[in-house]
Amino acid sequence: MTLNATIARVTDRIRERSLSSRAAYLSKIARAAEEGPRRAHLSCGNQAHAYAAMPDKEDMATTRKPNIGVVTAYNDMLSAHQPYERYPDLIRQAAHAAGATAQVAGGVPAMCDGVTQGRAGMELSLFSRDVIALASGVALSHDTFDAALYLGVCDKIVPGLIIAAATFGHIPAVFVPAGPMPSGLPNDEKSKVRNQFATGEVGRDALMAAEMASYHAPGTCTFYGTANTNQMLMEFMGLHLPGSSFVNPNTPLRDALTVAAVARAAGITRLGNEYLPAGEVLDERAFVNGIVGLMSTGGSTNLVLHLPAMARAAGVLLDLEDFHDLSESVPLMARVYPNGLADVNHFHAAGGLGYMIGQLLEAGLLHPDVKTITGGGLDSYSQEPKLRDGRIEWVEGARDTLNDKILRPAGNPFAPIGGLKQLAGNLGRGVIKVSAVAPERHVIEAPARIFADQEEVKAAFKRGEFTSDTVVVVRFQGPSANGMPELHSLTPTLSVLQDRGLRVALVTDGRMSGASGKVPAAIHISPEAANGGPLARLRDGDIVRLDAVAGTLECLAEDFANREAMQYDPATASEGMGRELFRAFRAHVSAATEGAAVVV
């Protein structure tokens, strides 16, 4: 199939924009690779330190076996990462069977946005991505690894690991998932109880019972938020093994896929004939394929922040216009909560990523000729793994959807576009996800209510102050202000107002969760208010027009451009829950449109 004209045009635009930065990057990783296996350049003392705890240390010092470094985000307070507890032993055994060795090079922090929603700790969440990249850099700095396995799933973890994999782009990289927990309480029932709690219809005991029935086992949360969007992305970008993203933890197939990932990492080092440095996988075509996956699945808006930062680490420069243009040309093929009633287990059973990739390739909406860890192009990702006699075989995946309420073909999608829109106007630039927003709510024009944080919004709701159409503006929530926390705890409040018949919208320089849904939300507004951005000039009662159809975000007040900006008080985000430690991050972070990053 001929490549779609928009896909080709956007890819060429990214390639041209990135010409010098990508060339410099490729030159850098080529220089790093030229010296050959890195261990050969270590002194005997260096090597003795590196191998002292290994049972086969003498073998390591005298042979050319590949040595695989494992960077793990394991902890046992994140359900998605708890399964990684078993992985090091499994990986070491698999490496030995593959004629290699493996060492845990280091751990990276992995915080749970589900625990910190609405709390001070959420103000560290976005910056944890950069900390993860830094920690991975420390892990790999020992210069003893021929390939790396990255173990991570959730919101900031995978993007941080990608930044590290790109930075160490001369080292082959394989990403190893852990899988989603089995289905529990349906997500729409959980959401219903949350809304009932917000209105006082049920008590905390009912809310707690619903939450515990939803989040109930090891594995990723089953809704299609940022964590599962990350897993999708790794397949579309060729960094997972095909069909591995949504296999449940602690199952024979899951373990077999992990063993296969280790064998593949051992097979693509510079010591063999299939050397595949991570930096060559992470080119502009891979990032375009990732964005196509984001649009076609209705994925998390958080990736609009993460992808530019990830790409920049590989010398590839993305812009909001790239997301917008690709969204306009890519059909929405999946309905997974919050964009539908299904969870990721239902999605996987209906044909999953293999079906989608096959469909998108046939429609010319993906680059087929990319480098992937399989050694082939993206067409290998239309296959699915089967466990036969204890070994993995990849067979042809679903060619027809097995449930058209969850998954549809590219030629008969749920919507003709991906549902992510760029917004621009006198209030700045931002994005809105409309895939779950009713068409009659794509344009909201109403008086603004200005708030400094989400707790003020919830307090006003409890006082009964929202009685008419309102654009809720929560400002001073950008990366330079307080680290750009998610404002997901506003979702039940705003949903209740909308269900009461009010026309409401959210406008913020902060983030919404990857699970945000039916309320129109203009997010990531840049320049942010703390840096004198236009949101700092808004006043209560200003008429704000959010138009997702035209792609505009405007304050209609005649004197708006001539007002003085309200000043941000940094003391509000300066201490408590470790926020003191991140002053330098807030002072040096880039704009949201560039990925809100510190290290790239």
Q: Is there a contact between 467 and 503 (Cβ–Cβ < 8 Å)?
A: no
The residue count for the chain: 600
Q: Is there a contact between 260 and 241 (Cβ–Cβ < 8 Å)?
A: yes
d(CA 101, CA 573) in angstroms, rounded, equals 45
b (16+ CB within 10 A) / e for 443-464:
bbebebbbbbbbeebbebbeee
Give residues with Cβ within 8 angstroms of 409, minimum separation 6: 333, 359, 401
Task: List the one residue out of 189, 170, 126 whose CA is nearest residue 36.
Answer: 170
d(CA 183, CA 181) in angstroms, rounded, equals 6
Structure tokens, 395: 């067979």
Task: List the one residue out of 65, 73, 214 whose CA is nearest residue 154.
Answer: 73
In one letter, which amino acid is 252?
P
DSSP 368: S
Determine the longest span between alpha carbons in the chain, in angstroms.
77
Return the SS3 of 451.
Answer: strand
On the CB side of 207, how many CA atoms lie within 13 Å of its CA? 12
Torsion (CA) 147, 381, 365, 228 in degrees, nearest 10: -80
Task: List the one residue out of 519, 562, 521, 523 whose CA is nearest residue 539.
Answer: 562
Q: How many CB atoms lie within 10 A of CB 159?
A: 28
Instruction: Based on DSSP, count helices (H) and strands (E) in the chain, helices before strands.
Output: 22, 14
Task: List the one residue out of 282, 291, 287 whose CA is nearest residue 314.
Answer: 282
d(CA 188, CA 335) in angstroms, rounded, equals 13
154 is an annotated ligand-binding site residue: yes
In one letter, which amino acid is 208?
M
Task: List the one residue out of 479, 512, 509, 429 whose CA is nearest residue 596.
Answer: 479
Structure tokens, 248: 């449940």
d(CA 238, CA 247) in angstroms, rounded, equals 17
d(CA 424, CA 545) in angstroms, rounded, equals 11
Q: What are phi and psi of 72, to 5 degrees?
A: -120, 140
d(CA 89, CA 108) in angstroms, rounded, equals 18
SS in 3 state form for 156-222? CHHHHHHHHHHHCCCCCEEEECCCECCCCCCHHHHHHHHHHHHCCCCCHHHHHHHHHHHCCCCCECC
Binding residues for [4Fe-4S] cluster: 154, 221
Binding residues: 154, 221
